[in-house]
Structure 1
Amino acid sequence: MNLKTYKAGFAAYLILVFTIFGCKKDPYKGVESNEKSIENFSMGTGFTQIGAAVVDRAAGTVKVKVLVEDNTDFSKVKPVIQQSYRATVSPASGSEVNFLAGNYKYNYTVTAETGESREWEVIVEPFTETILGTYDITGLVLYGGTGPEYGGGAVLSLTSKPWIWPVSDGPQVELDNSITFKLTGVTPTGKTTGTFVNDAGADGKYANFIYTPDPKTDVNKFYRKIPKGEGKWERDYTNDILTLIAADGSSVNCSFLGPGTEDLGNKQTKTIVNNAFAFSLNGNDDWSAIYTDYDKFVKKPRRYWVEVKKRN
C-alpha cells in the first residue's frame, strides 16, 4: 500500500467514526425534568453538624442538628444545598441566610426545569453537649445483692462501710477527685467526642477497691469504672451511651444521668440530686451469702453510680 492509498483509507475511517458518534442522540433531549426537591443540605463552613440532614420529601422539610459552640452564629449561615437534577434553588446554595429571624426555620424554593416550584422548610435544631465542664465527685453508690425479691438487695454508699475497705486508699479518697470534660469534635455518624481528665484531688489518691474481710477480694473490675488520669470519651445520643476510653485503649460504657429517681424494683430506688455516671454491673448470685456485705459488694453487685456535681 502506497502512502496516498493509506491516507485516503485513514480519512475514510475518520469520516465513518464522526458519522457514527455524531448521529448519536441525547436520550434526555426534549425531556424536561419536573423534580423539585432538596436532595442534601449542610450548614457550611463554621458549623459542626450532627449527622446528615434528614430530608422528608413527603412533608417538604429538611431537619439539621447543629452543635452549639462559643462562636456559633445562626444569623449568618451560608448553607451548601444540593437540589434535584436541572432544578434551581432560591436563595442559591452558598447565599447567606438568617435562621434566627425565623426561629431557626428558613424557607427555600426549588424550581424544576418545567417551571413548577415547591417550598421547602429547613429546620435547624440547635444541640448542646451537656457533659462539658468540671464535676466534683460527691458519692459512690451501689445497688447489689442476691435475691432482691426476698430482701437480699440494697442501695448502699461505698463509704458507708469503711471497715470493708483499705484504710489509706478506700473509696473515701475519691471524694476530693474531679472530672473535666472537653469537646474535640463530632463523628460522621453524629457522636460527640472529646477528652477527659480524672484528677486525683488534693490528696493525690485514687481508690484501690479491695474488699478486705475474708475472703479478701480485688473488686476494681466493678468499681474502677472511671479511668484514672487522662482519657477520651464518645457519646451516642441515639442510645444514651457514654463511652469512656482509658489511655491504654480499654473502654467502658455508662449513662450520664440528671436529677431524678430510678426505680430498681422490689421497693428499691436510687435518687440522683445533681448528676451521676451510671454503670450496669454483672455479678453472680450467691444464695449461700445472701444478706451479707460480701454478697452485695463482691458477688452480686448490680448497678453502680458515681455521683457528681458540676462546678459553676
Structure 2
Amino acid sequence: MKKLYQISLIVLSLFMVACTDNPLETIEGTGWQKERNIISILVEGQIGTAVIERDFDDAKIKIFAKEENIADISKVEIKNIELSHGATTINKAGTTLDFSSGASTIAIMSGAGETLNWEVSLLPFVSDLEGDWYIGEIGLYADMWSWESWGWEKYEKINNYLPELSPELDNILSFTVEGADENGNPFGTYEHKPGNDGLYGSFTDANQGWNFNERFRKIPTGSGTWLRDFERNKVIITDENRRVYELDLEVFVDTKEVSIKAEVLYQSELFNWDEQAWAYEELAHMSKSMWYRLTREYVPQAGNDIRSLTVANQVGDATIDAGNKTVTVVIEDNGTDISAIEITGLDVSFAASSNKTVGQILDFSGDYSTEITVTSEAGEAVVWTINLELDIDVSDVSLAGTWSIDDIGVYADLFTWESWGWEKNELLTNYLPNASTELDNTITFVVIGKDAQDRPYGTYENNAGTDGAYGNFVSDDASWPETDFNSRYRKVPTGTGTWILDGETVTITDGGGTDFVLTLEVKTGSTIALSADVEFLSDQFDWDVQNYSYEETAHMSKRMWYNLSK
C-alpha cells in the first residue's frame, strides 16, 4: 500500500509539470511588482530634500532650488533618482527635466507594466536660516547632578553671570545662501556684526577675574562661510581663520525663531564644594550646552539692574542686593555733607537708562537713603534704594548688627509693698499667644555714623520672619474684659526707621515719625535686651475678676523686654 501511494505522488507531480511551463513564474517574474514610487530625487541646483507625496495615483514632488544657480531652466539635470523595486523610468540620472513652466513630469513604470505620472514642481528655495537674525538670548544648560535624587537641572542666561557679554545682545547674525553641495545642502556666507554699540560681548567678568571665552565662544564673530547639513541637522560655520564650529539647529515654526546650540565639556568631577560662587561652578564645570536663540525682530532688553555704583569718598565696593533692589555704599567719616554726595561711577543693565548719571548728586539726608530709578530698554522701571553708611569703628557699638528675637518677657509687681505680695517674670507670649509670630523676626541696627556728641546712630529694621507677620498683642480669651494690648506692649516698632544710642538709652524713630524709647542692656557679646516701662495700674486691679493672667497683663505689669541674640 505504501509503495502504491509513492507511485501516485510521482505521477501527480509529472502531470503538474506538464501543465505549467514555469511553476515559479509568479514569484520570479515581474507580474507581482506593482510599485511605481520615487524614493528620492536630486536635481541640479536643488537645495534640501525633495518633498515626495502620493495619494494613490495622485503623485507629486516638490523640489526647492535657487533658479539663479541653474544654468538652463529648460534642461535641469537629474543628479540622482531612486525608484521602488522593479520600477523603471526614462528619466534616469544624467537626463534633464524642463521646468520652464515651473513643473515637469516623470513617468514611472512598474515591473508589471503599469505607469504612474509624477508631477514634479520646482519651487524657489527659502532657507529657514537665510537672512538677518537678532540675538534674543544667550543661555546655558547646567546639569546639577540630576542623576541623584536631590539633583536638579538649570537653564540660565549667561549674561546674568557674565555682564560683559551683554553688548552681544544687540548684534546681528546674517546668513546668505549662495548654492548647494552635491547632497542638496545649502551653503553661503556668514557674518556676525556688532549692533549699535559697535561691540561684541565677552564671556568674562573682570571684577571676578573670570574668562570663559574659550569655553563659550561657539558662535564666531566677524565673517565666514556656513553649510546646512540636513542629514545631521547641523549648521557648520567656518570663520575667517578657518576654524570650524559645528552647531545643532532647532527651528521653532510657531515663533519663527531658531536656536543654534553647542555642547561644552561637562566636568562635574571638578566641582569645588568649598567654592562659594556657584555661578562660577555652573559656568566652569556643570554646564553641558550653550545656545543662541535668534529672532527675526529685535527684542528689547528687559534688564533694569544696577551693576555697580561708586560715590565720592567711597570706601570699598558697594554692596548690591539684586533681589531686594538695594545698594549700600560706605564713605569716609570726614564730615562730608550727606545731602550732596557725588556719583563717580554708575553701571546699569545693558541698554537700560537711569534717572541719575555720573557727576550728579545723591541726597542721603532723609534716613541716610535715597533712590535711583533704572528703566530697561523694554520700558520697565524699577526703583533702587541706595543706603549710605559711614566708615567708622563700630566695635564699641554693642547694638550694631542683626539680632534674632529669643523671647518677649514681662515683669509684674503683685503688691510687693505688702507683706504678702510678690513679683513675677513671665513670657508675655504665655498670656498673649498671638505675639508669638514676632519670634521669627530679625531686628537690624545699621551704624551710619556718630554725631557731635559721639552718639552712634543709623537705620533700623524689624524684619518680619518666614511667616511674613509681626506679633499681635491681642488675647483670644473672650472672657477677658479687655483683649487688645497693642498700645501697651508695642514698644519695639515694626518696619523700618532710624535710631540713636545715648549711653544705655536707644531711641528708635519709626517710618511715621513716632519715637520709641528703650533701655539697652548688654548681657554678653552676643546677647542683649531692649526693655521699656509700661504703665503700672495696680489701682485698677479687680479682685472680683478671678483671672490673674488678665490682671498681670492689663494692670500689674511694670516693664516688658525683648531678649535678642546673634
TM-score interval, normalised by the smaller of the two chains: 0.5 to 0.7
Question: What are the Cα deviations for residues 248-304 of structure 1, in whole angstroms up to 9, with x where unaligned?
Answer: 11111112323389xxxxxxxxxx883322222213111525981111112221121
Aligned twin of 2:345: none
Partner of 2:263: 280
After superposition, give the CA deviation of every residue in 1:100-147 in whole Å (9 maximum; x if it has no partner): 6xxx673426699xxx67445365585542100101112211112542
SS in 1 for 2:260: strand
2:129 to 104, 128, 131: 131
Q: Which residue of 1 aligns with 2:231?
A: 238
Instruction: Tell me which of the two structures has the higher relative contact order, counting C-alpha pairs closer than 8 angstroms and 6 or more residues apart.
Output: 1
Using a 3 Å threshold, how does the CA distance of structure 1 residues 111 and 239 change in structure 2: closer, same or farther?
Answer: closer
Report the CA distance shift for 1:301/1:88 in structure 2 as closer, same or farther (over 3 A): closer
Q: Which residue of 1 aligns with 2:174?
A: 180
- Other-structure match for 1:144: 142
Change (3 A) 1:95 1:206: closer
Q: Is the 8 A contact 1:283 1:301 kept in 2?
A: yes
Structure 2 gap segments, 5+ residues each: 1-35, 299-566
Give 3-state SS (helix, strand or coil) of 2:105's partner: strand
**SS at 1:49 equivalent:** coil
Q: CA deviation at 1:210?
A: 2.0
* From 45, 54, 58, the counterpart of 1:48: 45
- Calculate the TM-score normalised by the size of structure 2: 0.36
Q: Which amino acid is the alignment partner of residue 202 of structure 2? A: N
Aligned to 1:48, what secondary structure does the other structure show?
Answer: coil
Find out whether 1:121 has 2:104 as its counterpart: no
Deviation of 1:70 after TM superposition, in Å, equals: 6.6
Match of 1:247 among 240, 246, 262: 240
- Between the aligned partners of 1:230 and 1:120, the Cα distance in structure 2 is 46
Counterpart for residue 295 of structure 1: 281
- Higher radius of gyration, 1 or 2: 2
Asked if the contact 2:97–2:104 (Cα under 8 Å) also holds between the matched residues in 1, the reply is no
Alignment match of 2:186 (pick from 180, 192, 198): 192
TM superposition score normalised by structure 1: 0.61
Q: State the distance in 1 between where 2:289 and 2:41 align.
A: 42
Which amino acid in structure 1 is aligned with residue 213 of structure 2? Answer: N
Amino acid at match of 2:290: Y
1:95 deviates by 6.6
RMSD of aligned Cα (Å): 4.7
Give ranges in structure 1 of 5+ residues lacking alignment. Answer: 1-36, 262-271
Summarize the Cα distance change of 1:193–1:60 in structure 2 as closer, same or farther, 3 Å threshold. Answer: farther
SS in 1 for 2:281: helix
- Residue identity in the other structure for 1:49: Q
The equivalent residue for 2:155 is 155
Shift in CA distance, 221/66, structure 1 to aligned 2, threshold 3 Å? farther
Q: How many residues align?
A: 248
Q: Which residue of 2 aligns with 1:9?
A: none
C-alpha distance in 1, partners of 2:96/2:287? Answer: 56
Which residue among 53, 64, 79 is the counterpart of 1:67? Answer: 64
Letter in 2 for 1:284: Q
Identity %: 18
**Residue number in structure 2 paired with 1:209:** 203
Q: 1:205 to 1:41 in 2, by over 3 A?
A: closer
